[in-house]
Structure 1
Amino acid sequence: MLKIIHLFLLLSLILFATDKPILTIYTYDAFASSWGPAPKIKEVFEKEHHCTLKFVGLSSSIGALRKIQLEGKKTKADILLGLDTSIASVAKKTGLFLPYEINNTTLKLPVTYSDDTFTPFDYSYFAFVYESDRLKNVPNSFEALVSMPKDFKIVIQDPRSSTAGLGLLLWVKSVYGDKASAYWKRLAPYILTITKGWSESYELFLKNEADMVLSYTTSPAYHIVEQNNTNIKAAAFKEGHYGQIEVAAVLKSSTHKELAKIFLDFLHTQRFANIIPTTNWTYPVVKTTLPKAFNMLYLPEKMILMDGEEVASQRKAIIDEWLSAIQK
């Protein structure tokens, strides 16, 4: 009997010694999906750091932030990944995230980036995407967009739940300023629907429900690489294009803070940079050799980007202005 007890204790010690820490990452559904970056990141990081990565995909990164806020200090999340600079300042004010200094010298971004909490990992530019076989008269500006035939329809995302949706509001605000409300009233008849997140709206576009969808200048790369389809394109707008820099941060409540910090460092490695272009279909934030398909993409000359603090202070007013305009 004593030998059995000793054997049980020995087996328990072995199991305990080999138990791997679980790093839980809240993110948006496309990132965590089987065709997104998560599976390849999981494979590489787990092998290097003897741990388990658990990606929890929500309908949007804003939804992931709200889930963390509801859970508070009891959240199981160690990392929030997928917010962008437009909403990061709002997230910081919750006091839930751990300060973390990044090495800016390794970054290759179209704009200067500096933050003491959120680490950038990829970027792209917002654009209206279309299929060239179906749409021959392609709008090349916001003004051209509201001059399309009455049966022309677009799909956009809700700025209250989607970083892409918020990005469009900031894009319009950057171009039209105090005349943004008037522009939204002109655009409203062309909006087929407003979805909660990007995935739903892009699916509608692919089903030919709408002529254009709010997406990214890099979205066509997916169709080129995976489908050998060069008909999906991003419309180049004369006014310029608003940028999106996606970021990640560690929760103060994390029980694996050191491992979580190692993961943030991993976001700036070549291993991570090589995964991002053909899984998240965006640009990595460090220099790497991009797939040839990216040479076929429209690349804006500069990135329009409002300061994060400015967005935080004006966000509610901008959203309220939009709601009032499209509901009338």
Structure 2
Amino acid sequence: MAPTDFRPVYHPAGPDHALRVASQDLRTGRWLSMRDLLRSTRDWALWTQRTQVLAAVAAGSDTVQAWLAEEPRSAAARVMHARVTVERAVRAHRGGRPGAQQLWHEAWEGCRAAAHASPDDPVPWICLLALSQLDEGQRLDEHRMLPPGPMLFPGPWGLLAEADKRDPFNREAYHRMLQFVYARQSGGTLPEAVNFVQWAASSAPEGSPLHVLPLYVRVERYRRENGNEKALDLHWVTEDGERDARRALAVWFARADPAARSLLDLNHLAHALWGSLRFADAAPVFRAMGPYYTSAPWSHRTRTPQDPAGAEDVFLRARGRCLAAEHEPGRAPHG
């Protein structure tokens, strides 16, 4: 296939073929593939990712409830039920829909039940972290605990600690904490987010996806600047922007198990390297994606972020530029 003929594929499961099959079955109301997939998932990081994707698919149906009714002793079914109730509560809150408060309460109860049914599982605690962003005024005690270090904010640190205890440096747990920062009424500032991701990355081991977190905060800054493309370009070519991209490349991409890399993280890293003009460095990141991509963060380079076609066009232009840079004689890696 010629480079100009390449068209990326968007799918929440990415290259996880078994997850794609289970997701498709779930859309038709069948849960056996989901159950069998989760039974075969032994790694907490993969378990977290798969349950998150499945919950997003299942939130619009009663399929998980049917599984739980059929197998009430299944810890996996109980965890998926918690996932689904949290997904519904978050969606209702974002949409300002009636009944959002009741859904929040039901989700909280579901998380506690899942934590009891599966005490070694980080996902129920990650679900509680996801719910914490709904408490924008930090009314609940568990959402305003003292932070573990200076320059950090009061928040659901106990919930993060419980997730960390079960799966240290769990990717989704720290992303949920970052979402909590953005949702806070009393502060929720970008400097707080910067302090958090720097704190998280500073203690994470090599190969950890937490080293990509600073790139997400940079994209959030651009989003808040209403898609100002000039501002977007200038942010990436600063010394700090280039440093964050290079560090994620060296400490995460080069050290992580290729099978464990998040597709969303790969897209953020490729975007950051392209934006900081490190075209040749970005090329292997684009290749690592295979045929898949995510619309974020590319959509923030467009005038209409809700239009997937615009995001795909930016992605293709960036990919073409970076893959071409590998074959340009006499060029430095940073283009």
- Which of the pair has more CA radius of gyration? 1
* TM score, norm. by length of structure 2: 0.23
| Richer in strand (by share) | 1
More helix by share: 2
